[in-house]
Structure 1
Amino acid sequence: MARRKPRILLKHKLLCFLWVLTICMIYVLHVTYLTTNKIKLRLNGGNQSKILIYSEVLPSIVRNRLKTGFNGKQCPNCMLVEEFYTDYDTRDFDAFVFIFNRVNLADPVFTKRLPHQLFVWYSPESTSSVRYTHQYTMENYDDVFNLTMTYRLDSDVWTPYGTLPEVKSKLLQKFPSLTADTLNEVLREKKSLLVWVASNCGFTVGAKLRLEIVDTLNHSAIGDRLDVYGQCGNLKAFENTEKGFQEMHKVIRSYKFYLALENSYHCRDYITEKFWENSLLNAAVPIVWGPTKEDILKVAPAGSFIHMDDFTSIAELADYLVYLDRNDTAYKEYFSWWFKPSGNLEPVGLCKLCSILNDKTRKPQTVQNLESWFYQNDHYDCLNHNKP
């Protein structure tokens, strides 16, 4: 009898485990059913234009950029479904947003598309990353898509990583007004000189080049006053969560300058959150490498950033940063944009797509040669300087 007790206990534990597992599976199926049917009910009702992001769940930074300003006031008469479930009826949607590396022309959504449906090609990645890192080709894409949706200004649906009006709007949510007193209060928090946060430590040619820049800065007049956070440095990496982002921004706010180094060199209009969120929003003067100065000046005022192309060497840049650190008057000149009009918040991303769907006067269009538009319309350096 004594020998049988362990077997009985093991049997009971197994039965309990199976019972708990069954309950969990029923719960998951129930929640999925309710969620799917709730969306189906919304799809079947009203005259809203319905947009489907035809992809799995996107990274939060990409999803948030797509949805910038997407609400009932700025983007009326539109409904968004962010994840794709196979039992949706694709006939219910008016527009599909296809992530560039998730396109499959053999998918039924392409073979069963309706004449009124807009197919939107979306890429948050730089041209060189799409070409070389993802090794992405666009064979047979002629006239498949109706609209392009990228960070580039020549896109049909401009989806930038940030804009100056947006930064000013967020600053005004933090402070009652952007005055000289407010600026002085913010600048008093800055106890350190220069910081860089990065996780791509050499996956692309551009990422390798910026590591060389950082190494050279470490051996310049700046010396050990450059702090590197993330996987590319010896300081902590921030979690890819809202709490992690808040912690990162708090750290950056204590620095005078931020290295806004992109992972691609001279790719048209590729200006990411490194410039907008990490730098300007935290009142850390961005030191820019990657986009051309001309591209930056299309979207940000002169005197709001320091561009590395303006210096003959890294050593010269380092000497200039040391000078600004010792000269408060010269340093504060980089915040003159705080006190100037920045324009109005214009619809971008999905909000812009919504306005296109609501435009009853729009004429049918297709992207005749997507590969030519995306690759050949970029700067020469983008596809040659970044080539592996």
Structure 2
Amino acid sequence: MKMQDEDCRTERFRSPVKTPLQWIILIAVLAAILYVFTWDEATASPPKPFGQIVHPNNTSNVKEKDTVLLIWFIPFGRKTQLKSCATEFRIEGCCLTDDRNAYLDADGVLLHHRDIARDMSNLPRLPRPVFQKWIWMLFESPHNSQKIPGLDDLFNVTMSYRADADILVREQLNPKSQGSEDLVPLEAKSKMVCWVVSNWNENYARVKYYRELKNHIEVELFGSHAGRRLSSEEYIAMMKSCKFYLSFENTLQCSDHVAVDYMTEKVYNPLRFGVVPVVLGPPRSSYEKFIPKDAFIHVDDFNTPKELANYLHMLNKDDEKYLQFFGWRKHFIVTKVDFPLEHACRACQYIRQRKGFQVFKNLSKWYWG
């Protein structure tokens, strides 16, 4: 009797024979469930559109030897059209994608610091494959970027404006293909000192310096603070009409680590348009890593703003001495950076060339001091 009961129970839970159609439906349902759970594990949030991808999100189309770089965040939420790294920068063998389902196959993951949640909840949830490199990217100053606990030993590679970063990406002076000098037309310069400023704070060192400087030389202000917003065309025309430009950063170096090498387009734009930048920011030695020492004027070279003003007045009257600041233009040209496409391509190039094991320790100490 007991044996009969056991047979009944066994028979009761035995699966009935399924037709081919039932097997197809069952397999489809199981595949859908598996996909949902796999996707939820691998991503902290749904993928966001990043514009045109070089390769389709289906990584089966990627060539066997291609290096796959997964762009985890849209930097600052900007939408951009991605183009071929080979076409734009002559970087071959790179596949850029924003498809987070490709996480386990990606050779590298590019993570923009300013988009990382403070609790790191929007980072990949799955463990990092041993072959994969995480690239930490930040181009804002430490003063304007929050320090996030837990990131110190998380990344393999750093990308920044700093000269000691693994991947250095910044506007810079590159050799010209031709040796002809790009002359600066003095007749077009109707203004002495110009400054475009929007972020105005009375506590900033640059504002305090300006308030003293303007007592000794005329400074023509532009930007939202002055109620004189400029279009792109107006900005270029304004630049070309000025002899000097106040390339004042809103962040100063306070130690050997904080704001090291931090300089923005504020210094490179004047150089591009034939203006002498008057810089306030990192020490002269930081600027000289990237710019010829006789291409700019540093406020630290003068004891007071009045001394600087006197020097600018002297240069304004001596064309020969003024034009000496542009000797570099015979050999170099200022190149812009295509953000974020160039950053992604440079990151892909780096990990393509360096497949060995790599770690980076103490990110907070290195960047924030």
Q: What band does the TM-score fall into relative to the shorter chain?
A: 0.7 to 0.9
After superposition, the Cα gap between the structure-2 partners of 1:110 and 1:250, relative to the gap in structure 1 and judged at 3 Å, is farther
Can you list the C-alpha shifts for 1:26-51, whole angstroms capped at 9, x where unaligned?
A: xxxxxx79968973146743242222
What root-mean-square deviation, in Å, do the aligned CA atoms of Structure 1 and Structure 2 show? 3.6
Where do residues 179-198 of structure 1 align in structure 2 (5 Å cutoff)?
179=181, 182-184=182-184, 186-198=185-197
Report the equivalent of 2:201: 202
Residue from 119, 131, 134 that aligns with 2:134: 119
After superposition, the Cα gap between the structure-2 partners of 1:63 and 1:178, relative to the gap in structure 1 and judged at 3 Å, is farther
Where do residues 345-356 of structure 1 align in structure 2 (5 Å cutoff)?
349-356=343-350
The answer to whether the 8 Å contact 1:95/1:119 transfers is yes
User: Do structure 1's residue 269 and structure 2's residue 284 form an aligned pair?
Assistant: no
Instruction: Give distance in 1, aligned partners of 2:195 and 2:363.
Output: 35
User: Do structure 1's residue 93 and structure 2's residue 106 form an aligned pair?
Assistant: yes
The alpha carbon displacement at 1:312 in A equals 0.6
Report the equivalent of 1:56: 74
Instruction: Give distance in 1, aligned partners of 2:112 and 2:75.
Output: 11
After superposition, the Cα gap between the structure-2 partners of 1:127 and 1:116, relative to the gap in structure 1 and judged at 3 Å, is same
The alpha carbon displacement at 1:212 in A equals 1.7
Can you list the C-alpha shifts for 1:37-75, whole angstroms capped at 9, x where unaligned?
A: 973146743242222332235377x989x99x8745521
Report the equivalent of 2:25: none
Residue from 155, 160, 163 that aligns with 1:153: 163
The alpha carbon displacement at 1:317 in A equals 0.6
Letter in 2 for 1:210: R
Letter in 1 for 2:295: S
Structure 2 SS opposite 1:321: helix
The answer to whether the 8 Å contact 1:50/1:79 transfers is yes
The answer to whether the 8 Å contact 1:158/1:349 transfers is no
The alpha carbon displacement at 1:108 in A equals 5.8
The alignment-based identity, stated in percent, is: 26
Where do residues 314-353 of structure 1 align in structure 2 (5 Å cutoff)?
314-340=305-331, 349-353=343-347
Letter in 2 for 1:232: H
Instruction: Give distance in 1, aligned partners of 2:246 and 2:90.
Output: 34
The number of aligned residues is 310
Report the equivalent of 1:293: 284
Instruction: Give distance in 2, aligned partners of 1:327 and 1:33.
Output: 52
Can you list the C-alpha shifts for 1:69-90, whole angstroms capped at 9, x where unaligned?
A: 8745521111334xx56x6442
Report the equivalent of 2:29: none
Structure 2 SS opposite 1:200: coil
After superposition, the Cα gap between the structure-2 partners of 1:202 and 1:115, relative to the gap in structure 1 and judged at 3 Å, is same
The answer to whether the 8 Å contact 2:68/2:94 transfers is yes
**Structure 1 unaligned runs (5+)?**
1-31, 131-135, 239-243, 377-388
Residue from 185, 210, 215 that aligns with 1:214: 210
Report the equivalent of 1:237: 229
Structure 1 SS opposite 2:76: coil
Instruction: Give distance in 2, aligned partners of 1:37 and 1:338.
Output: 35
The alpha carbon displacement at 1:309 in A equals 0.1
Report the equivalent of 2:271: 280
After superposition, the Cα gap between the structure-2 partners of 1:261 and 1:341, relative to the gap in structure 1 and judged at 3 Å, is closer
The alpha carbon displacement at 1:119 in A equals 0.8
Structure 1 SS opposite 2:188: coil
TM-score when scaled to structure 1?
A: 0.70
Instruction: Give distance in 2, aligned partners of 1:126 and 1:248.
Output: 24
Where do residues 364-383 of structure 1 align in structure 2 (5 Å cutoff)?
364-376=357-369
Instruction: Give distance in 1, aligned partners of 2:317 and 2:335.
Output: 36
Report the equivalent of 1:11: none
Instruction: Decide which structure has greater helix share.
Output: 1
Report the equivalent of 2:296: 305
Larger radius of gyration: 2
Instruction: Give distance in 2, aligned partners of 1:317 and 1:80.
Output: 48
Report the equivalent of 2:13: none
The alpha carbon displacement at 1:163 in A equals 0.8
**Structure 2 unaligned runs (5+)?**
1-48, 254-258
The answer to whether the 8 Å contact 2:247/2:277 transfers is yes
The answer to whether the 8 Å contact 1:138/1:370 transfers is no
Report the equivalent of 2:62: 45
Moved more, 264-273 or 93-102: 93-102
